[in-house]
């Protein structure tokens, strides 16, 4: 499971689109049809957002965080199973 949060680095504070250099690198790695930092920023603001693309890479949840999240939502347990690891395998 992934929690999407904007990656922080020293180049993100003045970016009008909120994408840091780490975010643009991740965006390019995740979406092969986008090439380059300027293209990543432009693509996300003009097309990517509408397509439901994620503008950044979040950190992966720990096994404990997965289980806490799963325990909080019984409907997810019903859909994906009671264990965090099992739910993660089914969700991906």
Q: What is the pLDDT of residue 54?
A: 84
What is each CA distance from 44 to 11, 57, 76, in whole angstroms? 18, 14, 30
The answer to whether the beta carbons of residues 4 and 58 sit under 8 Å apart is yes
CA dist 3 and 58 (Å) reads: 5
**CB within 8 Å of 60: residues ≥ 6 apart:** 1, 2, 3
Buried-state track 59-89, b at ≥16 Cβ within 10 A, e below 16: eebeeeebbeebeeeeeeeeebbeebeebbe
Q: Where are the domains of the chain?
A: 1-60, 61-92
Looking at residue 89, its pLDDT comes to 66
Mind listing the pLDDT tens digit of every residue in the chain (92 residues)? 444 444 443 344 355 567 888 888 888 888 888 877 678 888 988 888 898 888 888 777 788 888 888 888 888 888 888 876 666 666 55
Regarding pTM above 0.95, the answer is no
């Amino acid at each position: 499971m992934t929690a999407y949060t904007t990656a922080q680095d020293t180049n993100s504070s003045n970016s009008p689109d909120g994408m840091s250099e780490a975010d643009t690198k991740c965006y390019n790695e995740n979406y092969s049809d986008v090439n380059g930092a300027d293209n990543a920023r432009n693509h996300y603001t003009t097309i990517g957002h509408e397509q439901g693309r994620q503008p950044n890479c979040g950190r992966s949840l720990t096994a404990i965080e997965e289980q806490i999240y799963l325990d909080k939502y019984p409907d997810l347990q019903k859909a994906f199973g009671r264990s965090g690891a099992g739910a993660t395998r089914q969700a991906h």
